[in-house]
Amino acid sequence: MASSSSSSSVLMSRLTREYHQLLLSPTEGISAYPRSDDNLTSWQAVLLGPSDTPYAGGRFHINIAIPNRYPFEPPTVRFETRVYHPNVDSAGLICLDVLHLPPKGSWKPSWNIGSVLTAVQLLLSHANPDDGLMAEASELYLRDRAAFDALAREWTQRYAIGNTSAKLDGPAAATERLASDDRKEDGGSPTAKRARLDTTAHNGGGTDAVVAAAATPAAAGGTAATKDAKDESPPKLVEQKHEHKQEQQEQQEQEEEEEEEEEGWWD
Q: How many CA atoms, within 13 angstroms, populate the side-chain half-sphere of residue 231?
A: 7
DSSP-derived letter for residue 74 is P
- One of 95, 116, 152, 178 is an active-site residue; which one? 95
| CA separation, residue 22 to residues 66, 112, 116, 173 (Å) | 16, 10, 12, 13
Asked if residues 20 and 201 have their Cβ atoms less than 8 Å apart, the reply is yes
Residue 95: active-site member:
yes
Contacts of 16 by beta carbon, 8 Å cutoff, 6+ apart: 40, 206, 207
Tell which residue, 257, 261, 251, 259, has the closest CA to residue 15.
251
Other beta carbons within 10 angstroms of residue 225's beta carbon come to: 17
Report the residue count for the chain: 267
Which residue(s) pair with 77 in the sheet? 64
User: How do strand 39-48 and strand 76-79 relate by DSSP bridges?
Assistant: unpaired
DSSP letters, 81-142, are S---BTTB-TT-BB--GGGS-TTTS---TT--HHHHHHHHHHHHHS--GGG-S-HHHHHHHH
- Which residues are known catalytic residues? 95
